[in-house]
Amino acid sequence: MDFYDTWELWGPAGVGLDTPTRRLQHIERVFRRQESIGAPHLAPTLALDSPDSDAATHALAAAELASGMSENSWQSLVATKTFLRSGYRLDEYVGQLAALGSPTWVITVANEVVLGQAPDVGDTEAFAGLLRSIHSLSERSRVIVAKSDFVGLLGVAAGADTVGGGWDRSMRTYDPNAFHVASDDGIRIPASYVTQSGLLAVLRRDTAEAIERLDSALASAIRGGAMPPSDRAEREHHLRTIREVVLAMNQSESRGDRVEVLRNLYATADNYFVDLLARVPAFVKNSDKVAWHDQQQAILREYASAEGLWV
């Protein structure tokens, strides 16, 4: 709330979305701020951990009110993994959201804690629920998977057309600590990373350099281009890589085709990982393959099999 509160978005009725007056006052102020910076109306919401909770009821009421106040307003769904694991109750709740007919949904997976740079996608059931929700919402609306980066490609397979990503961890995933003012104001020098297009992964620069020393032609093929000479060049390389993959997937008109495109990308990544694990085991670890490939492929298989798209 540290940064959010600086925008003075709460009305005289107080903080929260738990009463009609608070919802109205808050949404009015949010929309005015968005208008002042030329952004589309995006309704505020709450992070949800259960479809049956008071928070879920208040979030739905806020979405309905925002839709009435601004017919073309975008809507938000911020869901924890517990929420996404709730089976038929999740599907029923998302069905109510879909009925609003919003032109655009922005979906974010809310993590309780983020410990490293690799994605935390070991909860196959939760992420299959995410893809099922994206599938449902995309039947009527455009869907953006925020703060997802390479993991967001799963969402594109399910019907999203855009992913939110970036070079910083707080851009690639929802890190709650990124939204608080740090008590330690000391200078921190972040580690340097290089995006590996063929692996659909972001690995440390020393790992990229080890692959380069092993076989420069192979390294270039895996990276998808020359070694970025600086962190700024890496940022551009990363965004370009994500954009190209999303565009390639969006060229496919059906979900089945998009699933097939991503499945083929995972197959290529698997071959590269197996080769690198054998040849540079001091740098490329099995944990890298698990986080960046195995778990994400398992999510795709779980979702696509249930939809009859894994053939």
Q: What pLDDT is attached to residue 177?
A: 75
Q: Are residues 111 and 238 in the same domain?
A: no
Residues 199 and 271 in one domain: yes
Same domain, 104 and 201: no
pLDDT tens digit string along 80-101?
A: 999 999 999 999 999 999 999 9
Q: Which two tokens stand for residue 111?
A: 């993590």
Q: What is the pTM of this model?
A: 0.94
- pLDDT tens profile 164-194: 998 888 888 888 777 666 655 555 566 799 9
Q: How far apart are the first and last CA of the chain?
A: 46
66/146 same-domain check:
yes
Identify the residue with better confidence: 116 or 94.
Answer: 94
Find where tokens 């496919």 sit: 252
Same domain, 10 and 106: yes
Element holding 206 (H helix, E strand): helix 205-214
Confidence of residue 114 (pLDDT cuts 50, 70, 90): confident
pLDDT tens-digit series, residues 267-278: 999 999 999 999
Q: What is the pLDDT of residue 175?
A: 82
Q: Which domain holds residue 16?
A: 4-179
Give the domain CATH number at 151.
Answer: 3.20.20
Total number of domains constituting the chain: 2
CA distances from 60 to 44, 52, 65 (A): 11, 11, 9
Q: What is the mean pLDDT of residues 254-261?
A: 96
Q: Which of 89, 81, 175 is nearest to 127 (CA)?
A: 81
Note the pLDDT of residue 6: 78
Pick the closest to residue 309 from 145, 131, 65, 161 (CA basis).
131
Q: What pLDDT shows up at residue 187?
A: 53
Angle value at C-alpha 237, between 235 and 238, nearest 5 degrees: 65
Question: Both 158 and 244 in a single domain?
Answer: no
**From CA 87, how far away is CA 301, in angstroms rounded?**
17
